A and B are shown apart, each in its own frame.
Chain A
Amino acid sequence: MNILQRLVRQREFVIFMIVLAVVVAMSFASPIFLTEGNILALLLSLSIQSMMAVGMVNLMIGGGFDMSVGSILGFTGIIVAMIMKAGVPVPLAVLIGLLVGVAIGLWNGMVVAKLKINPFVTTLASLSIFRGLTFALTSGRNIAELPKAFKAIGQTRIAGVQLPIIYALVLVVVGDIVMRNSRFFRQNYYIGGNEKAARLSGINVDGMTIFNYVLTGVLAAFAGIVFTARMGAASCQAGTGWELGVITAVILGGASLRGGSGSVFGSFLGVLLMALISTSLTLLNVDVYWQQFVVGVVLITAVLIDTLGSARSGGAQVKKQITGGKAA
Chain B
Amino acid sequence: MANAILEVKGVTKTFPGVKALDDVHFTLERGAVHALVGENGAGKSTLMLTLGGVYKPDSGQILLEGRPVDFDSAHDANQAGISVVYQELSLVPNLSVAENIFAHRQPTRSLNLIHWDKLHRDTRELLKRFGSEHIEPRTPVAQLSMARRQVVEILKAMSVGPKILILDEPTSSLTDVEAKELFANIRKLKAEGISIIYISHHLSEIFEIADTVTVLRDGKHVCDAAVDQINEEFLIANMVGRKIGNIYGERDPGAKIGEVLFEARDLARKGEFEAISLKVRKGEIVGVAGLVGSGRTELGRAIFGAEPADSGQLFLHGRPLAVRSTKQAIANRIGYLTEDRKSHGLYLDFDIKNNLVANHLGDFCSRGGFLRRGMMEEFAAKSVRDFRIVTPGINQVLNNLSGGNQQKVLVSAWFGIRPDFLIVDEPTRGVDVGARSDIYQLLRDFARGGIGIMLISSDLPEILGISDRVYVMREGRLAGELARDQATEENVISLAAGVLTRTKELPQ
Q: Which residues of A contact B (CB under 8 A)?
A: 177-178, 181-184, 186-187, 189-190, 193-194, 196-203, 260-261, 314, 317-318, 320-328
In the complex, residue of chain B having the shortest beta-carbon distance to the beta carbon of A314: B142
Check A325 against B429 for contact (C-beta < 8 Å).
yes
B405 interface residue (CB < 8 Å to A): no
Segment of B5-13, B168-176, B249-257, B366-374 engaged in the interface with chain A: B168-176
Query: What residue in chain A is nearest B426 (Cβ atoms)?
Result: A325
Knowing A314-B142, A325-B339, the reply to whether A260 touches B94 (Cβ < 8 A) is yes
- The reply to whether the CB of B122 lies closer than 8 angstroms to some CB of chain A is no
State whether A328 touches B74 (Cβ < 8 A).
no
Known: A194-B90, A326-B458. 16 other contacts (CB 8 A): A177-B113, A186-B114, A194-B91, A199-B73, A200-B86, A202-B75, A260-B92, A317-B508, A322-B343, A323-B297, A324-B292, A325-B458, A326-B174, A328-B463, A328-B492, A328-B493
How many whole Å from B150's CB to the nearest CB in chain A? 10
Chain A, interface SS category:
helix
Q: How many whole Å from A197's CB to the nearest CB in chain B?
A: 4
Given known A182-B113, A320-B293, contact A327–B93 (CB-CB < 8 A): no
User: Judging by beta carbons under 8 Å apart, are B143 and A314 in contact?
Assistant: yes
Once bound together, how far apart are the Cα atoms of A189 and B141, in whole Å?
Answer: 13
Check B507–A320 contact: CB distance below 8 A: yes
For residue B445, CB closer than 8 A to chain A, the reply is no
Contact of B459 among A186, A193, A323, A326 (CB under 8 A): A326
Shortest beta-carbon contacts, A-B, top 3: A202-B75, A193-B92, A327-B175
Q: Is B1's CB within 8 Å of the partner chain A?
A: no
The answer to whether B187 has its CB under 8 Å from any CB of chain A is no
B104 touches A261 (CB 8 A): no
CA A321 to CA B297, docked complex, whole Å: 11
Does B18 reach chain A (CB closer than 8 Å)? Answer: no
Whether B95 pairs with A189 at a CB distance below 8 angstroms is: yes
Q: How far is the CA of A317 from the CA of B93 in the complex (A)?
A: 13
Question: When A186-B106, A201-B104, A202-B78 are in contact, do A328 and B290 touch as well, CB less than 8 Å?
Answer: yes
User: In the complex, A318→B146 CA distance in Å?
Assistant: 9
In contact, A323 and B298 (Cβ under 8 angstroms): yes
Which B residues between 56 and 101 are near A, CB-CB below 8 angstroms? 73-75, 78, 84, 86, 88, 90-95, 99
Residue of A whose beta carbon sits closest to that of B459: A326
Known A-B contacts A183-B112, A197-B90, A314-B143; the reply to A327 vs B74 at CB < 8 A is no
* Complex CA distance for A186 and B104, rounded to whole angstroms: 8
Query: Known interface pairs A326-B458, A328-B460. Does A202 touch B104 (Cβ–Cβ under 8 Å)?
Result: yes
| Chain A hits for B290, CB < 8 A | 328
Q: Using Cβ atoms and an 8 Å threshold, which residues of chain A touch B177?
A: 327
Note all chain A residues with C-beta closer than 8 A to B95: 189-190, 193
Does B483 sit within 8 A of A, measured CB to CB?
Answer: no
Contact of B504 among A199, A200, A260, A327 (CB under 8 A): A327
Instruction: Give bound CA distance, A144 to B103, whole Å.
Output: 51
Cα separation A199 to B111 with both chains bound (whole Å): 24
CB of B91 within 8 A of CB of A197, answer: yes
Question: Contact: A328 with B90, CB < 8 Å?
Answer: no
B166 at the interface (CB under 8 A from A): no
Any A CB within 8 A of the CB of B340: yes
* Chain B residue contacts of A182, Cβ below 8 A: 108, 111-114
Which of chain B's residues 137-152 have a Cβ closer than 8 Å to chain A?
A: 142-143, 145-147, 149
Q: Which of B472-491 contact A (CB under 8 A)?
A: 472
